[in-house]
Amino acid sequence: MQRLISRLALASATAGGVVLVALIVMTCASIVGRALIDFGLGPVTGDFELVEAGIAFSVFAFLPLCQLRAGHATVDVFTSALPDGANRVLLAVWECVAALALALIAWRLGAGLVQKVGNGETTFLLQFPVWWAYAACSVPATVAVIVAAWSAADRVRAVFTGHDTRPIGGESVH
Amino acid sequence: MSAVEIGLWSFPVLLLIIFLRAPIGLAMLVCGIGGMWMVTGSPNIVLAKLKTETYSTFSSYSLSIVPIFLLMGYLAGIGGMSRALFKAAEAFLGHYRGGTAMAAVGACAGFGAICGSSLATAATMAQVALPELRRAGYAGGLSTATLAAGGTLGILIPPSVILVVYATLTEQNIAKLFLAAFIPGILAAIGYVLVIALYVRIYPHSAGRQPRMGYAERWQSLLAVWPVILVFIAVVGGIYTGIFTPTEGASVGALGTGVIAWASGELTWAKLWQALMSTAVATAMIFFIVLGAAFFNAFLALTQVPQLISTFVIEQGYGPWLVLTIILVMYLLLGCVMDSLSMILLTIPIFFPMMSGLDFGMSQEHMAIWFGILVLIVVEVGLITPPVGLNLFVINAMDRTTPIRETYKAVMFFVATDLVRVAILAAFPAITLFLLT
């Protein structure tokens, strides 16, 4: 199970990374096109819109890995004095809250998707429907919920068994 | 409870759950959603807001620069540029007492010019410089403290991820903020070099000396750093002259750095993937805090607490300089326990309106830029102040032979120059602003 979740998070982050690299290359191509406008080339139409939609997808796609590797910024100077057991409980509580929050985000993103399909909103230059971007983001948003749910369950299990699959100390690099 | 009371109560609640180890972005998100629910009396408004708010926060064009700069920094770490920078700086400085440590500071400054993150700068330069410092007979504490402090140059010298976030929050021009950060960044590097010179005079056994190099060798080593200079000029110059938008400039920099790393023969698929995964975790962390802050600040705006606090402070008739001093001291204290980005997102919506209402004898835009640079420096001090300086932890994890106590002791010298520099820059705004006029 842990390997499956880990692969899912890595696959999601890889997809986000590929999109990020594609956006960088596209932006550079757009600059070259704009510079060579006298030679019949031109900037990529709607490059702003592509960057916005693409970055949103990448960020959603990066969330599962961050969740799995406990990459979120925390303040642990006050809790580091507590025993391991207390820290396990705190971790479990916050991971459960995180899973609920991500589920809420994914659910409302879906509602937003329905709304954007309904009102037929399109972007200004490229005229592509905004709901395409919402639909694309829903996939990694769902993955984030799955990974966060597993992560929370794993931390809750650790509270009872005292056996951790991931470090509980705060010394990990944020 | 009235809306104002809910707004005021949210601060202790938020701090409490953050200190109980809740991820900072999550804590702000939960308090923001809960607070909005309480103030409006029903969940409907916040649920409606959630439909579009997450997507529109993540799809911000001005923040799209953040993951691109992060990737650029990680790629720069692969391409051997860090080594070239260190060798060049050592060729010029190595023969002075403490010269190898000074060279590490110089190399950090150079790396900071192509990397927007402190942690990445500290970690990358430590890989190159720590073994060299050891070989040259430097004491452990001095070596680790030098690199931790040098790492903060990554964010002081443009490009800088924190400044991008500050610019977005306060609706300022990113290019002007980058330009304004330049001289304070150079002053920081000079201050650190002076600290090392002083330190090795107080503790003569903490440092060694390298043989002096001839000028031919020196210029030769300088030639090897041309890619760094080229990328820096293309990115920061291009953004400032308006040839590029900031996102375009960052893209050119990331692609250029990738090409240089590839040309050096060190960029394998595995390393590229590693760089992308590191970018992924750091990006998700930053955007999640930004999302939490968006909800928390929307909630606070609903309660009108930020305006009330700012009006209150102005009506008390406190002098502007006193208010500024108190704000900066609060950042220093908060910086002992919290990371810089969270601090900025948490406090700027309160402090910035306050600053805008006070008269410092300069235009609103100049005040915003000058204040931004001061805040940038004080939050970066937090990265190297014990007990929770993230840079100290990163470096210490790379050098297990040096007890963290020794790093703490040596790093206080660097913290002292930071404080002196903040005082100078606060007293003489012209140092920060004259490049803009």
Please report the ipTM that was assigned to this predicted complex.
0.94
Task: Give the confidence band of A119 by pLDDT, cuts at 50, 70, 90.
Answer: very high
Give strand pairing partners of A122.
A129
- Pick from B120-129, B258-267, B411-420 the range whose average pLDDT is largest: B411-420
Q: Which residues neighbour A44 within 8 Å (Cβ) at sequence distance 6 or greater?
A: A26, A29, A30, A33, A50
Cβ separation of B287 and A75 shorter than 8 Å? no
Cβ separation of B19 and A112 shorter than 8 Å? no
Cα distance between residue B238 and residue B234, in whole Å: 5
Q: Which residues neighbour A120 within 8 Å (Cβ) at sequence distance 6 or greater?
A: A129
Answer for the pair A54, A93: CB distance below 8 angstroms, yes or no: no
Cβ separation of A108 and B58 shorter than 8 Å? no
Residue type, position A67, single letter: Q
The single-letter DSSP state of residue B407 is H
**Helices (H) and strands (E) in chain B — how many of each?**
23, 0
pLDDT(B130) > 50: yes
CA angle A133, B278, A60 (to 5 degrees): 20
SS3 category, B224? coil
pLDDT(B6) > 60: yes
Nearest CA-CA distance, residue B139 and chain A, Å: 24
**Pick from A72, A75, A105: which is nearest to B338 by CB?**
A75
At B41, list the tokens: 């009396």
Search chain B and give the residue with CA nearest A99.
Answer: B26
pLDDT, tens only, B176-217: 999 999 999 999 999 999 999 999 999 888 887 777 877 888
In the predicted model, what is the mean pLDDT of residues B89-99?
A: 88
Cβ separation of B387 and A25 shorter than 8 Å? no
In the predicted model, what is the mean pLDDT of residues A76-97?
A: 90
Neighbours of B318 (CB within 10 A): 13
Q: Which residues of A touch B396 (CB under 8 A)?
A: none
Cis bond upstream, residue B159 (ω within 30)? yes
Of B123-127, B252-256, B367-371, the range with the lowest mean pLDDT is: B123-127
At A50, list the tokens: 């592509």
Residue type, position A128, single letter: F
Task: Give the confidence band of A92 by pLDDT, cuts at 50, 70, 90.
Answer: very high
In the predicted model, what is the mean pLDDT of residues A87-111?
A: 96
Search chain A and give the residue with CA nearest B277.
Answer: A13
- Residue that the structure tokens 């459960």 belong to: A96
Nearest CA-CA distance, residue B424 and chain A, Å: 31
Closest CA to B437 of B349, B365, B372, B378: B365
CA angle A68, A69, A70 (to 5 degrees): 90
Answer for the pair B141, B409: CB distance below 8 angstroms, yes or no: yes
Portion 68-107 of B in contact with A at CB < 8 A: 68, 71
The angle that helices B269-303 and B3-19 make with each other, rounded to 10 degrees, is 150
- Residue that the structure tokens 């990694």 belong to: A140
pLDDT(A173) > 60: no
Percent of chain A with pLDDT over 90: 68
pLDDT(A5) > 80: yes
**Pick from A87, A97, A109: which is nearest to B55 by CB?**
A109
SS3 category, B384? helix
Portion 217-246 of B in contact with A at CB < 8 A: 244
Cα distance between residue B302 and residue B304, in whole Å: 5
Q: Which residues of A touch B26 (CB under 8 A)?
A: 72, 94, 97-98, 101
Residue type, position B99, single letter: G
Neighbours of A142 (CB within 10 A): 18
Cβ separation of A133 and B55 shorter than 8 Å? yes
Cβ separation of A105 and B60 shorter than 8 Å? no
Portion 74-113 of A in contact with B at CB < 8 A: 74-79, 87, 90-91, 94, 97-98, 101, 104-105, 108-109, 111-112
**Pick from A48, A71, A105: which is nearest to B281 by CB?**
A71
Q: Is A171 on the interface with B (CB under 8 A)?
A: yes
Nearest CA-CA distance, residue B211 and chain A, Å: 37
Q: How far is CA B292 from CA A20, B285, B301, B345, B349, in A?
A: 23, 11, 14, 9, 13
**Pick from B64, B279, B337: which is nearest to A51 by CB?**
B64
- E-assigned strands of B244-299? none
Cα distance between residue B358 and residue B367, in whole Å: 10
